[in-house]
Amino acid sequence: MKSILRKIFGQAQAEETSGCKGNKPLDERFASHFTAHGGRFLYCENRRKALAYFQNIRLENNWTHFNCPDRDLASWLKTLGLSPRDSRVAEANLIHCECMVARKGSILLSSHQTLGKRLTELSDNYVIVGKVDQIVDSISDGLCFIKSRKSGNIPSNITAINGKRVGRELDEDLGVPKNIYLLLVEN
């Protein structure tokens, strides 16, 4: 995670001089690809910092209604004096991810996060919480990761999102999320 901090604070030259320019760590590759696709990435040293960032995101976007099927994250809403809402009236989704794919800068979500709903049935705005140990190299590695973690309860629907798409790719009918924030929490 130190590589991300160096990059954020403009001290990334250490990576280039070490001869690792082509072999960036997974976390750095993910952050680079994710933000290149328009995703908003925030590194969090701990859950307290993640909650503070979430509060800032919420206030910046003036969001008060969240779809939040996860009990753990629903406690964040309660801490801020909010409560989860039905996905039909929610302005944003507060969810965990299955994993993150470094090679594509994608986030894998499943029916476990969306409660079986398609992305087109949810708000276009996402605040996604992930942990550093959930970053994998490829989508294939991601599917293996999910299978190993959910051995008795493999999700029925897995989809990848990777930030805001630009230009002609942005099509409201496709249900492409408009805003994706990722809070990456150190384990």
Q: What is the pLDDT of residues 24-35, one digit of tens each?
A: 899 999 999 999
167/19 Cα distance (integer angstroms):
36
pLDDT of residue 185 exceeding 60, the answer is yes
In a domain? residue 84: yes
Q: Which residues contact 120 (CB under 8 A, 6 or more apart)?
A: 174, 175
Structural domain for 86, as ranges: 25-185
In a domain? residue 13: no
Q: What percentage of residues in the chain have a pLDDT greater than 70?
A: 81
Q: How do residues 139-153 score in pLDDT, each as one tens digit?
A: 999 999 999 988 888
In a domain? residue 16: no
pLDDT of residue 60 exceeding 50, the answer is yes
For Cα atoms 98, 116, 93, give the angle at the middle one, nearest 5 degrees: 65
Q: What percentage of residues in the chain have a pLDDT greater than 90?
A: 56
In a domain? residue 87: yes
Residue 171 pLDDT:
40
pLDDT of residue 186 exceeding 70, the answer is yes
What's the domain count of the chain?
A: 1
The single-letter DSSP state of residue 173 is: G
In a domain? residue 93: yes
In a domain? residue 171: yes
Extract the tokens encoding 158.
Answer: 């897995």
Q: Which residues contact 48 (CB under 8 A, 6 or more apart)?
A: none
CA 151: distance to chain centroid? 22
In a domain? residue 52: yes
In a domain? residue 1: no
Domain of 34, CATH number, reads 3.40.50.10420
